[in-house]
Chain A
C-alpha cells in the first residue's frame, strides 16, 4: 500500500531532477535568470510534503487523526517568511544555505535510523543540488561579502526545557522538523518568485537597452538599501 505512492514519488523526483539539470555537477553557469529559475523549481519541489513529511509520517505511524496536532511546526526552528523577506539577497541565500545544512544533517540521521527509506537519499542529493545553485547564485550577486551573520531562526516562544526525548517525542520532533522544513522551503520559493518577478520587470524595462544592464529595485519587502540600486555587471543579479 505504501510502496506504490513511494515509487511514484521517487519516479517523479527522478524525472524532475533530470529535467531541472541542477548545476551541482559542474561549474557555475553565468546565466542568472536560468539559475534563479532552477532555484525556484528546486524550492518548489522541496516544499512538497510528499517528498519527506508524508513518508515519515506514514513510517512512524503518525498518520492518526489524534496526532496531527502534535506535528505542527515549532516556531523558531526555521525562519519565518517575514524574516526571509526582510533579508538582503546575500543574507537570504546564506540563511537558506545554513538551514539546508541542518536539514542535511537531520536527513543523514533519518537515513541511519530508517535505512530502507529511499526518500532520504533522494532528498539529500537534491539538497546538495540546491546548495550548489545557492553558491552559484551568491557568486552572481554583486558587492563585497556581507559579513553580517545570518539571522537566527526568529524569536518565537522559548523552547520547552530540554529533556531526554523519548521515542514518542522523537517521532513528533522529526515530524515537526520536516513540516517546518517544507514550510520554510515554501517561503523560500515565494522569495525566489519575487526575485523572478523583479528580474522579469527589469528585463522588460531594459530590453531595448540590453547593452546597459542596470540594477533594479529590490523586490517588495526586501531591505531598501541604496546599494540595491547600483549598477551590477552583466549576468549578475541585483542585490
Chain B
C-alpha cells in the first residue's frame, strides 16, 4: 500500500528504467527513458543519440505511442531538432486518458536531417518499446477513479476511468448526481467521457461511482472535477494618482476562475519604460510607486491562471491622471444679507498646483448657483444675489488642470443676515357697525419667506379717526397672528398695518373705512355665477369713479357662520377674475363680494356674486303633500323645500306620474326611469313654483308620483314614489245609505242595552214560568178544569235519595256526560221521610209535567241516573237515556202524540222541576232536618205527589216520579 500512496501524489514522476529490455539497448542508436506526470497526464520522453558523427547535427525523430498493446498505435509524432554530442533530448506528450487507465508503450527512431548528409537520411532502427504501466502500482486495494482532482476549464472534454481489480461490468458513475455514459475499456476498466463540462461550484463537482461490492467505508471511489471559469480579459483598466507618489490601478477582473484547492488566478503589472513588474495581491486593484523622474507610463496588466493568460495595456502621462484629494477648510467670510464669500484649501500637488474648482450653492434643496473657479492651493468664491435671512449650503470640488476626475465634494452651510420685510402685508377687513361704533376685524396674510427677510416678530396696527385726526391708536400684535379685531369709535377710520422683524418694519398697508357697509350690501343685487374647472369665474362693470384696484372676498367655509374670510387683490384694470381655492368643495355655495378701492383707500361694494365651484345634483327630493283629492285630480305641494341650501341652483322640478294606464295625462310625456320603468313626466321650469295640480285622471285609480328638483348637474334621486288613489264615482251615494244605517244600528244597540233587563225577563227568564209554557197551550183546550199546575209548595217530601258518586269517576270524566253504565255504578240509598206504603206500592194515576225547556239539560244533571238498582228501566228506555238526543226523540212522540193517542186519564205526565240544592238556600227547598249527609254524595229530593194529582205506574213511578234535588251547577252543566 505504501507504493500506492506514493504514486497517488499529485505530481508523481516515475522513472521507468529500461532494464527489462537491456539486452537490446546496446544495439540501438537511441536510448529512451520515459517518465509520467500523473496529474498532468503527461509522458516525458528523454533520449540521447549514440555515436553522433558530428559535434552538432540536425536530426529528425519519429515517436510512436501505443495503448493497451503495442500494435495499437495511437500517436505518431515527428520531431526535428539540432542535436549536440552527449545531449539529452526531451519531448512531452499529453494523454486525454489518464495514464492510470491503460498501459502505454513508447518507442523512437531517428535520422540525420542535414542537407549535406544525404547518405544518412534513412531512419535508424526503432528503439525497444518502453512500457508505461501506472496501473500495476495500484495494488489490490479498492477501486480507483482517475484522474484525481482534475482541474479543467469550462467547456472542456474530460475522460475519466474507473479501475477495479475485479472484472467490472455494471458500475455506474454520477457527476453531481447526473449519470454519465460508460464505455468498457477492458475487463476491469470503464471509461466515462464528459463533454463540454460546465462550472457548478468553486468546491468542484463530485464524481462518484455506485454498485461496487468492494466498497470499503472510507475508500469510496470518487473524485472531484474542478471546472474553472474561462479567464476574462480585465476591463476598465485605469491608473491615477492623488498625490503624485502612488499610482492606484483598478480594473474589473470579470468572473472569478479560482476553485477550491487550486487558486491560480493572478494579476501582475508590467511597466515597459522602467521594465519593472509587480505581482498584484488583489484581483481588481494594484498600487505602483511613482518614480520622481517618470512622467510617462506604459503599463501592461497581465491576468493569468492555469489555462490562460490575458493582458491589457495602458499608456498615459502622469499629469493627466491626477485625481485631487477632497478640498478642506471650507469657510464663509463676510456674510451679509445678500452676499457671502466662501474659501477653501486644496492639497498641494507640487508643481501641479493649479486647479479647476466647481462651486455650487444650494437653497431649499436644489442647486441655485453653479460656478467654475480657478484656484491655487487656496481658493475662494464670492456669492451675491442671495436672499436675506436664508439658509444656504455651498460646496466645492476640484480637478487638476488637465482634467481627469473631480475630487469629492466638500461643503458647508451658512445663512445670510436678516433685512426689513420688503413688502407691506396684504390686509383686508370685515366691518360691523353697532350703535355708532364699528367692529372691524382685520385679516392679513403672512409674508412669504422672500418678502419677510427674516422671522416676523409682530404686526403694528395704527388706527386714526378720520373725523378727529388727533385720535389715533397703535396696536402691536405678536406674530404669528394673522388678524385682529378692533372696536372703533365710528366707522370713519384710516388703518395702517406693518410687519416687523429683527431688522425693521415693512412698508405700510393702508385702508380707510367709511360708513356702514351694511347699507351697501342691501343696495347691490346678488348675481349668480358659474364654476368652471379652473375655479369660479366672475366679472363686473368698472365703476364710474377712479379705482386703484379691486378686492374680491369670500368665505372659504360653507357659510357665514364659519366664515374663513379669503380675499384676492386685483389691479385697477381688472373687470373679471377666476377665483380658485383648494378649500372649494363641490356642491357648496359660495358668496363673493367685489369691492372697488378708491384712491383714498376706501373700499366700496361693487357687486355680489353667488355660485358653486361645481354644482351637484340634489341629494334629496322635497317632501310632497297631497291635497284637493278629487275624482280626476289632486294637488302636490312642497312649499317647505329650501332651494337656497341645495348643492346647486334649482332650475325647476320634474314631476313623475306612474299608473296602470298607458296614456299619460295631458301635459305629461313618457319617460324612462333609471330602473327602466316607464312613466310620465312633467317639467316645471320655475324653481319658485312649489305646487302642481295633476289633472285629467281616472276616478278611483291608483297613481304613484314623484317630485324631484333639477340642477345643472342633474335631477334628484328617482325614489321614493308617493301613492295616491283618486276618489270613486259612487262613493257619495254609498255614503248616503250606509251612514243612516249605521246610525240606526247604533241606536238600536243603545236601546237594547238600556232595556236589557226587560228584554231578558221577556225573552229569556232565568226560571221558566210554567204558566207561560207552551205546553199549557196544548193542554188547555183538552184537559179538564181540575188540571192545574203543580206547585212545589204542594209537594211533601217523603224521602231523600242519597246518591253516592265515586270521586274517581268525576275526576276521570270531568264535565263529561255520564253514561248509563257509569250511573249504574252509583250507589243509591233512600231515606224515607214519610210512610211510604202507598207511595211506592200501588200504581195510581198521576200527572207529571216535564219542563221541555230543560229536557236537554236533564241527562247532564243525571236525570237518568237515580234509577234504583232494583228498578230496571223499561225495555228500550236504557238506550234512550244514554243520550239526550235519544231521550228527546223518545219523548217527542209521546209529547207530540199524547193529545191524540194517550187517554187523558191514563196519561202520565212527569214534571221534573229544577230545584236548588239544599245548600243553595233556596226558599223552596225542604228542611233537611239534621240529616247527616255523606260526603261527595248527591242528594235528590223525592216528593210525594198527592194522589189526586199523580198516580204513576209502579215502574214508571219508581223511575220517573222522583224529583231530583240537584246541584244547580251540575244541573246546568
Interfacial residues, chain A to chain B (CB-CB below 8 A):
59-62, 64, 66-67, 69-70, 72, 74, 113, 160-164, 166-169, 171-172, 176
Contacts and interface: CB of A to CB of B under 8 A. Distances in A.
B392 to A, nearest CB: 46
Given A61-B203, A74-B218, A168 B4 contact: no
A67 B208 contact: yes
Contacts of B207: 168
B9 A160 contact: no
Given A69-B217, A70-B220, A167-B224, A161 B2 contact: yes
A157 B200 CA distance: 37
B217 A62 contact: no
B5 A64 contact: no
A148 to B, nearest CB: 31
A69 B224 contact: no
A67 B217 contact: no
30 contacts: A61-B200, A66-B174, A66-B177, A69-B215, A70-B208, A70-B220, A70-B222, A72-B217, A74-B217, A74-B218, A160-B219, A161-B1, A161-B2, A162-B5, A163-B1, A163-B4, A163-B5, A163-B8, A164-B5, A164-B8, A164-B9, A166-B8, A166-B224, A167-B204, A168-B207, A168-B208, A168-B222, A169-B222, A171-B224, A172-B220
Contacts of A164: 5, 8-10
A111 B218 CA distance: 24
Given A62-B206, A160-B218, 18 more contacts: A59-B203, A61-B200, A61-B206, A64-B177, A66-B177, A66-B210, A69-B215, A74-B217, A74-B218, A163-B5, A164-B5, A164-B9, A166-B223, A167-B149, A167-B226, A168-B206, A168-B222, A171-B206
Contacts of A162: 5
B50 interface: no
B886 interface: no
B261 interface: yes
A52 to B, nearest CB: 16
A169 B217 CA distance: 11
B826 interface: no
B176 interface: yes
A157 B216 CA distance: 13
Interface string B2-39: 10110011100000000000000000000000000000
Nearest to B209: A66
Interface in B154-199: 174, 176-177
A166 B177 contact: no
Nearest to B148: A166
Contacts of A163: 1, 4-5, 8
Q: Is the interface of B mostly helix, strand, loop or mixed?
A: loop
Contacts of B203: 59-61, 171
Contacts of A61: 176, 200-201, 203-206
Most buried by A among B205, B218, B261: B218
A170 B235 CA distance: 36
A63 B8 CA distance: 27
A141 B261 CA distance: 46
Interface of B: 1-2, 4-5, 8-10, 148-149, 174, 176-177, 200-201, 203-208, 210, 215-220, 222-224, 226, 260-261
B219 A161 contact: no
Contacts of B8: 163-164, 166
Contacts of B260: 113, 167
A176 B217 CA distance: 11
Contact of B223 (A62, A67, A113, A168): A168
Given A160-B218, A167-B261, A64 B206 contact: yes
Nearest to B261: A167
A53 B207 CA distance: 20
Contacts of A160: 216, 218-219
Contacts of A74: 217-218
- Interface centre among B149, B203, B204, by most chain A C-beta atoms within 10 angstroms, is B203
Contacts of A168: 148-149, 206-208, 220, 222-224
A169 B208 CA distance: 11
A166 B210 contact: no
A64 B178 CA distance: 10
A60 B204 CA distance: 8
A71 to B, nearest CB: 9
Nearest to B177: A64
B211 to A, nearest CB: 10
Contacts of A70: 208, 217-218, 220, 222
B821 to A, nearest CB: 88
Contacts of A176: 218
Nearest to A113: B260
Nearest to A70: B220
Contacts of A161: 1-2, 5
Contacts of B9: 164
Nearest to A59: B203
A179 to B, nearest CB: 12
A133 B343 CA distance: 62
A69 B215 CA distance: 10
A67 B5 contact: no
A166 B149 contact: yes
Nearest to A75: B217
Leading 10 A-B pairs by shortest Cβ distance: A163-B5, A167-B224, A70-B220, A168-B222, A166-B148, A161-B1, A167-B149, A168-B224, A64-B177, A61-B206
Contacts of B4: 163
Contacts of B206: 60-62, 64, 67, 168, 171
Contacts of B5: 161-164
B54 to A, nearest CB: 47
B208 A66 contact: yes
Contacts of A60: 203, 206
Nearest to B200: A61
B215 to A, nearest CB: 8
B204 A64 contact: no
A62 B203 CA distance: 11
Nearest to A164: B9
A169 B222 CA distance: 8
Contacts of B217: 69-70, 72, 74
A200 B218 CA distance: 43
A20 to B, nearest CB: 32
Contacts of B205: 61
Specify which of B200, B219, B226 lies most central, judged by the most chain A CB atoms within 10 Å of its CB. Answer: B219
Contacts of B218: 70, 74, 160, 172, 176
A169 to B, nearest CB: 8
A172 B216 CA distance: 13
A4 B343 CA distance: 53
B423 to A, nearest CB: 61
Contacts of B176: 61, 64
Contacts of A59: 203
A64 B223 CA distance: 14
B150 to A, nearest CB: 10
Contacts of B174: 64, 66
Nearest to A166: B148
A161 B5 CA distance: 8
A61 B201 CA distance: 8
B220 A69 contact: yes
A129 B217 CA distance: 34
A113 B262 CA distance: 11
B269 to A, nearest CB: 26
A74 B217 CA distance: 8
Most central of A60, A70, A113 by chain B CB within 10 Å: A70
A90 B215 CA distance: 41
Interface core residue of A64, A161, A166 (most chain B CB under 10 Å): A166
Nearest to B262: A167
Nearest to A165: B8
Contacts of A172: 218, 220, 222
Nearest to B216: A160
B41 to A, nearest CB: 15
Contacts of A169: 222
A60 B208 CA distance: 13
